[in-house]
Structure 1
Amino acid sequence: MSTEPVTRLTVGYLATPSGDDGVALAVAIAGATGASIDLVCVVHPVEYDGTPGLAGYQERLENQAAEWLADGAGRIPEGIDKRAIVTVHDSFTGGLVEVAEQSGASMIVVGGTGDGLLRRHTLGTISTELLHSSPLPVALAPRGYADRATPYVDMVTVAVPVRTSSDNPLPFAVGLARQAQLDLRLLSLVSSDDPTRDDTERTARDRRIAAAEQLLAATRESVGTELDVDSLVADGPTLDEALDKLPWDEGDIVAVGSGHLGRPNRVFLGSTAARILRWTTAPVVVTPRS
């Protein structure tokens, strides 16, 4: 069970608090993995048609983007290899993916929007597009992540899928944990709104929990012994209530798989992953559908 090491991060940057959140998450991941950081600002092309005032406007836009990137790069500590890249593209998302693929990036990192709850995830246009099209894992920083004292990563929690048809983020999570020497937490969610029903609600709940524990035990065996592995079954009347019970620490990062409706080799945010994103205060990495 392995995956390619995380060696280069492409960070979509805007001169906003959410842009700073994305940089902070990239710094935390790079600090754990030794990865390089490409800080990218995408500028829309401007066609000069002779309109007064448009001459040189493209150059001014690119110069402004370079200034923003210089400010963002100042948030990256010495010792982390970094580049600032201005690229011109019709789409911010398309330009970001293009740079990431050309540079051989392992992951795309972005912040959310600035109008959500503090320490929670709120998706904007760019993050939503990435979560439904990216060919690379997408790491999302919660709002206010840059305001934490010293963002860091020391544990990866992976949501282990119950159904074999679900895409499994476990290889990515195990690879990240091994590379960065992180603790690994295996998570299974159990709720009464699960479609499997049984004789009585109490019996059904007990059997679902037992099945989840059995799944986690088998998963733990498959991981090997070189990692510090914990496992947790979170249960509740609904998935939201199960997720609300979960403890999250400052150094946590969560890995989730893509939904089954997505295209192969693309990220697609499924319903369970979307709920995890809604409830966790930790950064989340969504892996592409295999």
Structure 2
Amino acid sequence: MRKTVFFVSDGTAITAETFGHSLLTQFSAVDFREIRLPFVDTHSKARDAVSLIDRAAEADGTRPLVFSTIVDTGIGGELTAANAHVFDMFATFMEPLEEILGVERSPRVGQAHGMGNSHAYEDRMEATNYALTHDDGISKKLDQADVILVGVSRSGKTPTCLYMALHYGIKAANYPLTEEDLEQPRLPAFLRQHQRKLFGLTIDPERLAQIREVRRPGSRYASIKQCRYEVDAAEAMFRSEKLPVLSTTDSSVEELASRILLEQGLQRDQV
């Protein structure tokens, strides 16, 4: 079964996409074709969106799903003309919230993913710069790090660090364990002095081999034998050092980041 899904917003459409996608993951039997339509902030753009949705309905022979977070009720109302199942996510929650809070909303477009608090935004940018300059062991000066991810090459350290920086303002560094490191019984000394900040990432050797094969086809680096050796040695080192560990094999960066922040006591508001 195939279904086209539209995420429509007068802003970035990130909220509609995130929430809608979370719902759709519960229907694994359906093949969803997802289309994001951001900045639909005029009646003209809304009518253009309706035309696009209708063409998809005609091509698919079935009505698409539309998740909308358009703030302006007039513009958002244009979508009801589409040959689709429309889920107005703001309309679903706004009226009950107004009743509970005892105040009417003050409609503002783009607040969910705007700059918002300038200090929080600056913290995120500073943390992102930190993650980039402390990626893959580039810098061994880690005093300012909130967390240090350790693992073999291509185990998911960099994207997880960047996600924590961009979304939570966490200064995350990472260090790739080399063959020389793995031949030693303990982590490098410069890492051990930051023991409480260390967090290990591991991965299934077969999955690691697939990832490395894309980067260096046919190489020893990508061989299953080498991958098994490195993962086994890294996990033994993590046990020896008593590090908390997560597997990245079947986990998204969002889940990894959330679990790391929770286990390290670094819970912060997402900004």
Provide TM-score, normalisation by structure 1: 0.25
Provide TM-score, normalisation by structure 2: 0.27
Q: Per residue, is there more strand in 1 or in 2?
A: 1
Between the two structures, name the one with larger relative contact order (CA 8 Å, sep ≥ 6): 1
Q: Per residue, is there more helix in 1 or in 2?
A: 2
